[in-house]
Amino acid sequence: MPQVTFSRNVFIPLTNICRNKCSYCGFRRDIGHPEAKLLSPGEVSEIISRGVNAGCSEALFTFGERPQEVPGFKLWLEKLGYDTIVDYLVELCKLSIDMGLLPHSNPGILERREFEKLRPYNASMGLMLETAGSIRAHNGCAGKAPAERIKTIELAGESGIPFTTGILVGIGETQDDRVRSLQVIRDLHEKSGHIQEVIIQNFLPKPGTEMASWQPPGIREMAETVSMARRILPSDVAIQVSPNLIDPKELIECGACDLGGISPETIDYINPECSWPNIPELKAVADLRERLPIYPQYIKRKWYSEEIAPLIHRLSDAEGFRKTY
């Protein structure tokens, strides 16, 4: 039975305000929508506390890209005492470390100075490339321009940050787009050695979106894409699939070796209709081993800051995986 890793985390949807308007996204909300939100420090603290009590090691911070560009959002930040969402995120990452969870942040497109602010307080970070192709679903979305996303992933490498990226399968990209996307990721990793995992994620249509009636990719298409990724990507880059979005059994047989974050306390706020699988159930299809948000090889190479070193040492075993008690 193949060994497959995962991380036990809590999902923290800091805000669902986003400058992009992707045709498939069910997470984004406009200012003024009754479900629009920016979590307060108290709300974030409560989620982190639940994660600590549940034995998690990771606080996954996810939110809309550059929300301060959306009129009205800066007023929300100013009420909390911050000028930018990155400054607010830095303080919440510090809170997470103090409470006992390692932060992994997905803040969207970043500049070098923003990476410099966040790096000391994150065990790892991430940004989905999604596709290196130009697709209709990204029309009008400044942050989804492939060149901008590739530049951000490149900057993460130059900053020495263990990084997660991936492709989204079934959003209107071609097979050639998928090949090119994986080749771009490969080349970025070969330059900086920072990409610890690549997610091969299947698109799922969301009610109320422009792509609500689109057909999602089937298991055969996903298996072929995972197999292709394993051929293209270097062997030290893990291939991740999402077990709440698709049955991972066949994909593991095709080369997937990680199941990402699985939360005992929070839902997948991007795909709220898809509940997390039960960890004991997953043990029937793979030899599961729990990791931290930073992969073992990066722990051994000390790709982490002094600020998070004590917590990494407390949570990891001699091999760099999650310590078991």
3-state secondary structure of 144: helix
- What pTM, to 2 d.p., does this model score? 0.97
pLDDT (0 to 100) of residue 77: 96
Q: Is the pLDDT reported for residue 157 higher than 80?
A: yes
Tokens encoding 48: 């982190």
User: Is the confidence at residue 50, as pLDDT, over 90?
Assistant: yes
- Residue 11 predicted with pLDDT over 90: yes
- Give the angle 222-223-224 at the CA atoms, nearest 5°: 90
- For the chain, the structural domain boundaries read 3-315
Nearest to 156 by CA among 107, 112, 104: 112
Domain 3-315 has CATH 2.120.10.90: no
Strand ranges (E), the chain: 3-15, 58-63, 102-106, 124-126, 163-169, 195-202, 238-240, 258-262, 287-291
* Residues 114-151 pLDDT 10s: 999 999 999 999 999 999 999 999 998 999 999 999 99
Query: What's residue 172's pLDDT?
Result: 97
Continuous H helices in the chain = 41-53, 73-80, 85-99, 112-118, 146-158, 175-192, 219-232, 249-253, 279-282, 296-300, 309-315
Q: Assess whether pLDDT exceeds 90 at residue 324.
A: no
- Residue 2 confidence (pLDDT) above 90: no
Sole residue written with tokens 């490498």: 157
Per-residue model confidence (pLDDT) at position 285: 86
Mean pLDDT of the chain: 97
